[in-house]
Chains A and B, each alone.
Chain A
Amino acid sequence: MNHWIIAPVVLPAFVAALMVLTLRGHLALQRIASLAAIIALNAIAVALLWSATMHGPEAYFLGDWPAPFGISLVLDRLSAMMVALLAVLALITTLYAIGSGWDAKGAHFHPLLQFLLMGVGGAFLTGDAFNLFVFFEVLLIASYGLMIHGGGDRRTRAGIQYIAFNLVGSSLFLFALALLYGVAGTLNMADLAAKLPGLPAGDAALLRVAAVMLILVFAIKGALVPLQFWLPGTYANAPGVVAALFAIMTKVGAYATLRFVTLVFPTDLPATGTLIPAFLLPAALVTLAIGALGILGATTLPRLAAFAAIASMGTAFLAIAHMTPRGTSAALYYILHSTLATALIFLVADLVSRRRAHLRLDAPAPVAQNGLIAALYLASAVALAGMPPLSGFIGKLLILDAWRDQAFAIWPAVLVSSFLMLLGLSRAGSLLFWKPSESEAVADPAPQEPLAVTAAFALFAALIALTLAAGPVTGWLDGTAASLHDPAAYIGANRLEVAP
């Protein structure tokens, strides 16, 4: 067995516990330990990515219990890609947190961040549906702590809403899992994929209910309409660096949806059939519209960034709803792009918030270091609206290309929403960076935080790299999508034992 598969779960857990127990109150040491662990995580992620590409799916059996009885982690190309994305985003946001001093504004920033990495990494790697629930809870409880980092009454009360919403989601998840177990007698995802086609027709209704409830849970995580209400309040009130890190959390919902619709509930399963895409497609279109209108009507920059996150999830789910290797490949590229782009605009919003008297978009106020921040904002806006030359354009082009068969219905929705986003982002940008220059009165001396600005530029560089390497990346993603839609190797990796 390849023991490195469990490293993205064990390493952050160990480092987090170490920091809480021995490095309490030593911020400098915590920073060093956290950065070292995240750099190690990046190295492990690269190794796992290489291993998954070379050797195909591979399972790790916890406690060496055989697959349907014990818990298995499964490394395949998709999970390796998501872990690598998580590692890169974690490195950049940690550098930003150190550079901007966010991690000094309250206790335990770095341990909570490590626990979040543990939960998200575990959710990407697990091959067991109940274990997925457990890792969801791990990442959620860490995110509750991170969300209210720095305190403040408004942030705390937004946190209560966030927790309540997610607790309802967790209950729904458990209901769905209980139904699934009651019907199929297993919760191992590969075993479910093998067993569900052979279920008696009388169980089909229960299975459909379980499938829809599961997708609802993932839609809560992925902020799909009508379950997106938690996102603007949460992301706009969370510390900027935490909101940037949370860009990966909505992708956990997209990842789980993708995993379940390709592995457990594919369209050729008679009980569910095209039920899930029939729900996903309209929901994704409305999500896109709400996101675009939200950008147009946002009153503050963090709320604008939050609605940009919603719009990007709508676009990603639109590609997932196509349910073909082509659509999946486009969705994966867009997930890579939108995670980085959303994180970038949250970092820009945070940079602006410390250089401007207030964050409202309706009243002018000067921004210190105008040119530098404006350049970053321009980059994030171009990426989010899907304008050339950045990767958002390529991502949306791939999605439009996948939906060529229904171009009359889908293309106008994507193109008009992109135009609305462009309008909203230009309006916000000109209010922030052009109008105030008439008054020429920068209130405070500009904060000098080279590391934070460098971290934001690193995200920009990652977007450029994703654009320049679009050819090889989409080639690799095509292979990933093909293996997702033909999960025989994934199921085979679990070496399922037949119950006596």
Chain B
Amino acid sequence: MEALLASAIGLLAAVGIYLTLRLRTFPVILGLTFLSYAVNLFLFTAGRLAVNAAPIVGTTDAPADPLPQALVLTAIVISFGMTAVIMIMAIGGHLQAGHDRIDLDEDKA
């Protein structure tokens, strides 16, 4: 299970980094989303992997760590909000500039 999860996180992060380095805003936003998926899974595993273990002391012999689950919830909410913000900005930028390139052409300030 460790190998499966580790390679999944690695794949998500690799896809995220590749897309983040693209020139257009839409792939960049997709890349940031993939990165946040990778980090959410990674944060989840920080409390060690446990199968069929409730995060409540006393119900199982080795209860799962509840704190990473709380951290992941916070991280999901924040990354969701941030994705919404950059989405709106990207649409605004596209409508105003007429194209969706992410670079700024210099010397026009």
Question: Does A233 sit at the interface, judged by CB under 8 A?
Answer: yes
Interface residues on B, range: 35 or more
B109 at the interface (CB under 8 A from A): yes
- Specify which of A153, A181, A360 is in contact with B68 (CB 8 Å cutoff): A181
Q: Mark A156-171, 1 if CB is under 8 A from B, else 0.
A: 1111110110011011
A144 lies within 8 A of B85 (CB): yes
Q: A154-B108, A177-B71, A181-B46 are in contact. Are A163 and B82 (CB under 8 A)?
A: yes
**B92, closest chain A residue (CB):** A156
Q: Does A260 contact B (CB under 8 A)?
A: no
Main SS at interface, chain B: helix
Q: Provide the residues of chain A in CB contact with B74, threshold 8 Å.
A: 130, 134
User: Which of B16, B38, B96 lies at the interface centre, i.e. has the most chain A CB atoms within 10 A of its CB?
Assistant: B96
Check B35 against A144 for contact (C-beta < 8 Å).
Answer: no
A178: interface (CB < 8 Å): yes
Residues 51-93 of chain B, each 1 if its beta carbon lies under 8 Å from chain A, else 0: 0000000000000000110010011001101100110011011
Contact B109 A237 (CB under 8 A): yes
Per the bound structure, the CA–CA distance linking A302 and B109 in Å amounts to 9
The binding surface of chain A is classed by DSSP as helix
Once A167-B86, A170-B82 are accepted as A-B contacts, the answer to whether A236 and B39 lie under 8 Å apart by CB is no
Query: CB-CB < 8 A to B79: which residues of A?
Result: 167, 170
The residue in chain B whose Cβ has the minimal distance to the Cβ of A145 is B85
* Docked complex Cα distance between A360 and B107 (Å): 9
Q: What are 29 A-to-B residue pairs whose CB atoms are below 8 Å?
A: A130-B74, A134-B78, A137-B82, A152-B96, A154-B108, A156-B93, A156-B96, A158-B104, A161-B103, A161-B104, A163-B82, A163-B86, A164-B28, A164-B86, A167-B32, A168-B32, A171-B36, A174-B40, A174-B75, A175-B39, A175-B42, A177-B43, A181-B46, A181-B68, A181-B71, A182-B45, A182-B47, A237-B104, A299-B109
Give 15 new A-B contacts, CB below 8 A, not counting A171-B32, A177-B43, A182-B48. Answer: A137-B82, A144-B89, A154-B97, A157-B93, A157-B102, A163-B85, A163-B89, A168-B32, A170-B82, A171-B39, A175-B39, A178-B68, A182-B47, A236-B109, A237-B109
